[in-house]
Amino acid sequence: MCEPKIFNVDQIPNVVNFLRLGGVLAYPSESVWGLGCDAFNTSAIERIFELKARPEHKGLIVLTDSAAKVTPLLQDLPHELQRDVLQKLQKANDDFDVRTADQAQTYLMPVSKLVKLPSLLTGGFDTLAVRVTHHPTLAQICNQLTSLENPFGFLVSTSCNISGAPSATTLDEAMAYFGNQVAYLNADGLGFTKPSKIIDLMKGDVLR
């Protein structure tokens, strides 16, 4: 059995190339470890569902490095509403204090019919769960992952586990789940104690 591929934080270009080629990566997030891929690579997304034994109707969270990048998701909305929603997202992002927070914030956003996203991301719904990550290494990956094929810099983020099992919190725990079936990013998380809060951006309702 071959050894799993492990990237260090000084190898971000290599990580991005791996993701663009359809690789699946386990990585430390703001709290527990996550499992992710290029959010526009359908084969890699399918692989994540297979690895986790996760029902496909649940959809997935995606990370990006900038609130401004999600603007095209809202292009079906009236311009005034677009502006209000984006201002709300930007303010929440600007007000977020990594030093005092105990959980990240993920926002459920409407998706324009003009934006062609893999249906597995949304679970077939007309909304997408988006988090502007404050994890510096993940933000760097999202920034470098941005391209014509992935204009949002979206990185899939789902818990690193088999569905229903506890989420991995260390590299060793992640490797115990998936061995050499995925690659790993050897880095630190942000130490948050709770999974991300999920907020309906249009209504303000807390969903988790």
Separation between Cα atoms, residue 125 and residue 178, nearest integer Å: 29
DSSP SS3 for 52: helix
Contact 141, 12 (CB under 8 A): yes
Q: What is the pLDDT of residue 1?
A: 63
Separation between Cα atoms, residue 125 and residue 142, nearest integer Å: 24
> Which residue matches tokens 């430390």?
28
Tokens of 28: 């430390």
* Number of other CB atoms surrounding residue 72 within 10 Å: 12
Task: Give the full edge-to-edge strand order of the sheet including 105-110.
Answer: 6-8, 183-186, 25-28, 33-36, 155-159, 61-64, 127-132, 105-110, 197-200
Q: What is the pLDDT of residue 190?
A: 87
Q: What is the pLDDT of residue 34?
A: 96
Q: What is the pLDDT of residue 170?
A: 96
Q: What is the pLDDT of residue 79?
A: 87
DSSP SS3 for 130: strand
> Which residue matches tokens 């934080």?
9
DSSP SS3 for 109: strand
Could you state, in chain order, the average pLDDT of each consecutive group of 10 residues for the chain (208 residues)? 90 98 97 96 97 90 94 86 85 85 89 89 91 96 96 96 95 97 95 86 79
- Total count of residues recorded for the chain: 208
User: Cα dihedral angle (47, 208, 76, 140), rounded to 10 degrees?
Assistant: -60
Would you give the DSSP letter of residue 4? P
Q: What is the pLDDT of residue 159?
A: 95
**Helix or strand (DSSP H, E) at 62:** strand 61-64
